[in-house]
Chain A
Amino acid sequence: MAQAEVTHQEGHQQHPLGIYLGVWILLFVLSSFSYAVDYFQLQGLLRWSLIILFMLLKAGLIIGIFMHMAWERLALISAILLPPLCLLVFIGLMATEADYTFLARLVAFGPAAEITAPHH
């Protein structure tokens, strides 16, 4: 890594080939792992946490090494990587709203509606 930092100058991103090959293999392994999660039909919390973990690791490797973000200056990193964090708020809002819609549909159209609603 220190070697890579030395060769990085004047905005040029030149790193030893070994880093890329290593990341490439890691991406293959991580993808196989996520496929294995489905193949062996893991369910519940284990499934979701593994899927998210492998997804974030792959995303981090692609952005950090393949897209050279790990060697950019913090000004660029923060300008690109911080704005997507607002999406977490968006996800929260939509999930809350989705829960409400789901419950409303159950009440209005679900089996419970048959019992509570007066017959036409």
Chain B
Amino acid sequence: MTEETPAISTGIGADPSGLKGVVTDWSHDRQAFQVPWGKAMMWIFLLSDTFIFSCFLLSYMNVRMTTTVAWPNPSEVFALSFGGQPIPLILIAIMTFVLITSSGTMALAVNYGYRKDKKKTVLLMLATAALGATFVGMQAFEWTKLIVDEGVRPWGNPMGAAQFGSSFFMITGFHGLHVTAGVIYLIVTATRVGTGYYDRHRGGNYEMVEITGLYWHFVDLVWVFIFAFFYLW
């Protein structure tokens, strides 16, 4: 199967850009989105996922605004001490940097994918997967600390509003699940690039790398919002 982006056939010259381009793309009785279908579908999936995470964050906003009990201070709850004085939110900061680093390696992997540099693409994707796995590991550590040491449960905790636990486990749990799925997705795509699957079946088209990248960057994007609204708020 040779996957080629359909040639633009609107007559003379290149397609107009901007608003005129929107009208052209939608009204010329052709494929509306001038990107490979897999990419368009990934974007639409990510849009639906945006609404799911938004509903979680909104319900968190709602319970936090309605509770008459004080909300546990995330800065203290997520503090860690390395022998000395506890550093506020340090684990979350490290997790944030790990995820951003993985986003960077992913962006480079996509770039090398388009350059057909197979080795660098595979290595960078595997590095991304490793960083993702590190993130999940740190999250497991964070959950364990909260459940075992601090006694946080979905129905209550000793530090304040009972809704803290349910919001925390729901939001970070669903995000962690996304990261885990992303790690598997990355390993599968990297393996396929490495074993030449796309050379044999897709005519050497590595656009799957970019589609995998879209998903991975989205996971990082969601974390940006969780970091701001749950941990910093």
Chain A positions within 8 Å of B, measured between CB atoms, are 10-15, 17, 20-21, 23-24, 27-28, 31, 34-35, 37-39, 41, 47-48, 51-52, 54-55, 58-59, 62-63, 65-68, 72-76, 78-80, 83-84, 87, 90-91, 94-95, 97-99, 101-102, 105-106, 109-110
Per-residue 0/1 for B103-114: is the Cβ within 8 Å of any A Cβ (1 yes, 0 no)? 110111011001
Other A-B pairs beyond A67-B217, A75-B34, 15, CB < 8 Å: A15-B111, A21-B104, A24-B107, A34-B232, A51-B232, A62-B221, A63-B217, A66-B213, A67-B213, A68-B210, A73-B17, A74-B19, A78-B22, A90-B54, A102-B66
Chain A: interface secondary structure? helix
**Is B214 part of the binding interface, using a Cβ–Cβ cutoff of 8 Å?**
yes
Verify A66–B107 contact, CB threshold 8 A: yes
In whole angstroms, how far apart are the Cα atoms of A82 and B44 in the complex?
12
**Is B81 part of the binding interface, using a Cβ–Cβ cutoff of 8 Å?**
no
Per-residue 0/1 for B27-66: is the Cβ within 8 Å of any A Cβ (1 yes, 0 no)? 0000011111001100110110011001000100110011
- Interface residue count on the B side (C-beta < 8 Å): 62
Of B130-138, B177-185, B222-230, the stretch lying at the interface with chain A is B222-230
A65, A84, A98 pick with most chain B CB within 10 angstroms: A98
A contact residues around B106 at 8 Å (CB): 66
Whole-angstrom distance from the CB of B34 to the nearest CB of chain A?
6
B contact residues around A106 at 8 Å (CB): 68
Per-residue 0/1 for B181-199: is the Cβ within 8 Å of any A Cβ (1 yes, 0 no)? 0000000000000000000
Chain B: interface secondary structure? helix
> Assuming A55-B228, A62-B224, A75-B33, is B61 touching A28 (CB within 8 A)?
no
Verify B61–A34 contact, CB threshold 8 A: no
Verify A11–B36 contact, CB threshold 8 A: yes
Instruction: Please pick, from A23, A35, A94, the residue contacting B93 in the complex, using a CB distance under 8 A.
Output: A35
Whole-angstrom distance from the CB of B22 to the nearest CB of chain A?
5
**Is B21 part of the binding interface, using a Cβ–Cβ cutoff of 8 Å?**
yes
Instruction: Please pick, from B33, B66, B89, B104, the residue contacting A98 in the complex, using a CB distance under 8 A.
Output: B66
Verify A27–B66 contact, CB threshold 8 A: no
B contact residues around A38 at 8 Å (CB): 75, 88-89, 231-232
Whole-angstrom distance from the CB of B46 to the nearest CB of chain A?
8
Per-residue 0/1 for B79-98: is the Cβ within 8 Å of any A Cβ (1 yes, 0 no)? 00000000011000100110
In whole angstroms, how far apart are the Cα atoms of A110 and B207 in the complex?
58
Verify A75–B54 contact, CB threshold 8 A: no
Whole-angstrom distance from the CB of B10 to the nearest CB of chain A?
13
Verify B97–A28 contact, CB threshold 8 A: yes
In whole angstroms, how far apart are the Cα atoms of A48 and B35 in the complex?
38
Verify A11–B100 contact, CB threshold 8 A: no
A contact residues around B107 at 8 Å (CB): 20, 23-24, 65-66
In whole angstroms, how far apart are the Cα atoms of A24 and B101 in the complex?
8
B contact residues around A10 at 8 Å (CB): 4-5
Can you show 7 pairs from A to B with CB atoms below 8 A apart? A63-B217, A65-B107, A73-B15, A76-B34, A78-B22, A98-B62, A105-B67
